[in-house]
Structure 1
Amino acid sequence: MHIEIDDLTRPAIHALLQEHLDHMYELSPPECVFALDINALRAPDISFWTAWEGPLLLGCGALKQLDTQHGELKSMRTPTAQRGRGAGRAMLVHILEVAKARGYTRLSLETGTEAAFQPAQKLYASMGFVPCGPFASYQEDPHSLFMALDLSLFDSKK
């Protein structure tokens, strides 16, 4: 598996991001969906990566800069057919390493509260993320779980 910065032009990426958006809208009311579309992911304050095994897309993830020390994890997704292969964890570790190298001290995320989000919540917790309050422009919402990681506690060698 290799992870690369991505320009969001390949059809496989478009399909995966559409799967992600469709699933988010199935699970949460429209006003509570904070997943980004392709155009939003092209913003200058967002870096986007994909994980591949040869020509097979295994997942994606993004890092949004909130300020010089705080980033937000966005668009973590593994295609349904490729789950359980470790791509989500590999992508998360990659993004955490990049965030730490950029000098961020905190990485935050917003995820859903429905049962379908429990695997993601467990993955984040296993890496040291803990529940927190809303950050950036988010508001308290029963459909949102906010989590954060103090990056001084992250060690990719563990």
Structure 2
Amino acid sequence: MKPVRVRPNDPRVLPLVSMHLDLMRASSPACSVHAMDADGLERSNVLFVAVFDSDEAVAIGALKALDGTHGELKSMHVRQDRRGQGLADLILDRLLDEARTAGMERVSLETGSQETFGAARAFYGRNGFTTCSPFAGYTADPNSFFMTRAL
């Protein structure tokens, strides 16, 4: 299995995009949910990738260009029953490769500060991301945790 480019509105990925958004809404106050629905991802012209098992998306992720040298990871999600199989690594590696190819020098992300997001923060930390200040219009928020990585 390897990540492939797909549109966020592709019917094969919509259930996983919705699942991700529902989890974000259940885990954070509404004012601190920065996940985008499929239409928002589509309008933002993000590079969106998915890993499929048969014709069903089991992992997704997106890369949003902030400017010519800085990108943001969006909507990284692995279906719960498929976690621990290295799918997040596949998605992240593909998105970082795409960022490098696009000439980006840095990739940042926003995730939650709550315990629910502890595994995500640890995953990004293991992959070279470090804590940073809010970026690209984000503001300090006790429910948000910001990370960045030079490429």
Listed as ranges, the matches of 1:10-25 within 5 Å are 10-25=10-25
Contact 1:6 1:49 in 2 (8 A): yes
Contact 1:2 1:53 in 2 (8 A): no
Listed as ranges, the matches of 1:12-91 within 5 Å are 12-91=12-91
Identity %: 37
Equivalent AA in structure 2 for residue 125 of structure 1:
G
Report deviation, 1:120: 1.0
CA-to-partner distance for each residue in 1:83-111, whole Å, 9 max, x for gaps? 11111111001101110111100100000
Could you list the runs of 5+ residues in structure 2 that have no partner in the other structure?
A: none
Question: Which residue of 2 is the match for residue 111 of structure 1?
Answer: 111
Q: Which moved more, 1:131-140 or 1:40-49?
A: 40-49
Contact 2:64 2:74 in 1 (8 A): yes
Report deviation, 1:140: 0.2
Q: Which moved more, 1:140-149 or 1:1-10?
A: 1-10
CA distance in 2, matches of 1:45, 1:8: 10
Residue-pair matches, total: 151
Report deviation, 1:44: 5.0
CA distance in 1, matches of 2:40, 2:24: 16
CA RMSD of aligned residues (A): 1.2
Listed as ranges, the matches of 1:70-149 within 5 Å are 70-149=70-149
Per the normalisation by structure 1, the TM-score is 0.91
CA distance in 2, matches of 1:15, 1:54: 15
Per the normalisation by structure 2, the TM-score is 0.95
CA distance in 2, matches of 1:126, 1:29: 27
Contact 2:108 2:146 in 1 (8 A): yes
Report deviation, 1:3: 1.1
Contact 2:8 2:39 in 1 (8 A): no
What secondary structure is seen at the aligned counterpart in 2 of 1:88? helix
CA distance in 2, matches of 1:30, 1:126: 29
Equivalent AA in structure 2 for residue 7 of structure 1:
R
CA distance in 2, matches of 1:138, 1:44: 16
Could you list the runs of 5+ residues in structure 1 that have no partner in the other structure?
A: 152-158
